[in-house]
Amino acid sequence: MSLPKAELHLHIEGTLEPELAFELAARGGVTLPYASTDELREAYRFEDLQSFLNLYYELMAVLRTERDFEDLANAYLERAAAQGVRHAEIFFDPQAHTSRGLELGTVVEGLWRALGNSEANHGVSTRLILCFLRDESAESALATLDAAKPYLDRITGVGLDSAEVGHPPVKFREVYEAAAALGLRRVAHAGEEGPPEYIIEALDILGVERVDHGLRCVEDPALVERLVRDRVPLTLCPLSNVRLRTVDTLADHPLPAMLDAGLMCTVNSDDPAYFGGYAGDNFDAVRETLGLTEDRLRELARNSFLASFLDDDEELRARYLAEVEAYTFT
Ligand SMILES: Nc1ncnc2[nH]cnc12
Ligand SMILES: [Zn+2]
């Protein structure tokens, strides 16, 4: 669907399509433990978040040079633009690369080669969000934030991702305080597989402005009331939830009920190469399977720009919002 939208929950490493993985492997002399792209695609059957993360981290071995990160980001931006994405706030996982011996600068500079020219090349404005791996230590997160200091002109905010259960937000209190002191915006994954309490901690202890996923808030009526009252944006990822078995089928997804409850929902792709679709595909899927009306779809698109970190460019945000209102559904 080409409805203009902002993508607010997108892991750049999760945009690595099998074809590009093999191309980068060949270029870098990396051997993948799969004979072909078809065989690799066969591995895309996930039981839960952890079974996905195992493959996600394994394939990152092909990302080694600035050019690799640049090519990865350009491939995403091209696909996203074709599906109506006008603004993208992109997560990256520095620790998944520095733990393999890469310099943080290789990752940031490589991504920036694509992101810095994205408005001109793809018609997509961008922001970069550095994510801490929550299954690594708080000390490692602090060291990562410290290493990122030379690149803060390119980094808008911090996030928290990877294996959720057993790694509550409170573990990262100190690093989020330090990030806030540096003027960084704050988001965190919470309530994807973890309980509603993790969403409350992310808000109260980490001071996040948006909750990534936040799906399990529906189990706590008082929390839903709070999220509605405070207009806290949730970056939902419907196709991801199906593939990682957070919901049984797309038809069971609580998105319509969440919108009816007044929650500020957005729809995003998470790791589109792995979960069967980019942002526009997610919009198409919820339209078809959940029967969302044109008003609801327009609301989701409007929310995406309102929830974005475009506060430093209200003129651009207003232009995007006008595009949403002017859009004609086909
Ligand atoms: N859906 C997800 N949840 C947590 N960590 C992730 N890293 C990449 N995708 C993720
Ligand atoms: Zn995610």
Note the pLDDT tens digit of each residue in 19-44: 999 999 999 999 999 999 999 999 99
Q: Which contacts qualify for 209-213: CB closer than 8 Å, 24 or more apart? A: 209/185, 209/233, 210/8, 210/234, 210/235, 210/307, 211/187, 211/235, 212/9, 212/159, 212/161, 212/187, 212/188, 213/9, 213/189, 213/237, 213/241
> Is position 230 annotated in a ligand binding site?
no
Share of the chain above pLDDT 90, in %: 100
Q: Which two tokens stand for residue 47?
A: 């039981």
> Is position 9 annotated in a ligand binding site?
yes
Nearest to 135, CA basis, from 264, 213, 49: 49
Q: Read off the pLDDT band of 81 (50, 70, 90).
A: very high
Residue 174, pLDDT score: 98
pLDDT, mean over the chain: 98
Note the pLDDT tens digit of each residue in 83-139: 999 999 999 999 999 999 999 999 999 999 999 999 999 999 999 999 999 999 999
Nearest CA to ligand 1 atom 4: 162
Confirm whether 192 is a catalytic residue.
yes
What ipTM did this prediction achieve? 0.98
> Half-sphere exposure (CA, 13 Å, Cβ side) for 136?
19
Residue 6, pLDDT score: 98
Nearest CA to ligand 1 atom 7: 162
* Ligand 1 binding residues, C-beta < 6 A: 11, 14, 49, 56, 161-162, 189, 192, 240, 270-271
> Is position 270 annotated in a ligand binding site?
yes
Q: Note whether 117 and 79 are within 8 A (CB).
A: no
Nearest CA to ligand 1 atom 10: 162
Q: Which ligand is nearest to the CA of 161?
A: 1
Q: Read off the pLDDT band of 140 (50, 70, 90).
A: very high
Strand order in the sheet with 125-133: 5-11, 85-92, 125-133, 157-161, 185-190, 210-213, 233-236, 264-267
CA of 164 to the centre of ligand 1 (A): 9
Nearest CA to ligand 1 atom 6: 162
CA of 317 to the centre of ligand 2 (A): 24
CA of 288 to the centre of ligand 1 (A): 25
Find the mean pLDDT for residues 224-250: 98
Q: Which domains does the chain have, with CATH numbers?
A: 5-326 (3.20.20.140)
Note the pLDDT tens digit of each residue in 144-181: 999 999 999 999 999 999 999 999 999 999 999 999 99
Q: Which ligand is nearest to the CA of 274?
A: 1
Residue 23, pLDDT score: 98
> Is position 97 annotated in a ligand binding site?
no
Residue 309, pLDDT score: 98
Note the pLDDT tens digit of each residue in 41-70: 999 999 999 999 999 999 999 999 999 999
CA–CA gap between residue 23 and residue 7 (Å, rounded): 26
CA–CA gap between residue 58 and residue 195 (Å, rounded): 27
- Tokens 């997560």 found at: 91
Note the pLDDT tens digit of each residue in 173-225: 999 999 999 999 999 999 999 999 999 999 999 999 999 999 999 999 999 99
Residue 147, pLDDT score: 98
CA of 326 to the centre of ligand 2 (A): 30
Residue 77, pLDDT score: 98
Find the mean pLDDT for residues 310-314: 96
Q: What angle do helix axes 221-229 and 196-204 make, rounded to 10 degrees?
A: 40
> Half-sphere exposure (CA, 13 Å, Cβ side) for 105?
1
Which residues, 6+ apart, have CB-to-CB distance to 85 below 8 Å? 5, 6, 7, 124, 278, 279, 280
Q: Which ligand is nearest to the CA of 16?
A: 1
Q: Which of 192, 193, 219, 315 is catalytic?
A: 192
Q: C-alpha angle with apex 311: 305 to 315, nearest 5 degrees?
A: 75
- Show the beta-strand stretches assigned E in 60-168: 85-92, 125-133, 157-161
Question: Is the whole model's pTM more than 0.90, yes or no?
Answer: yes
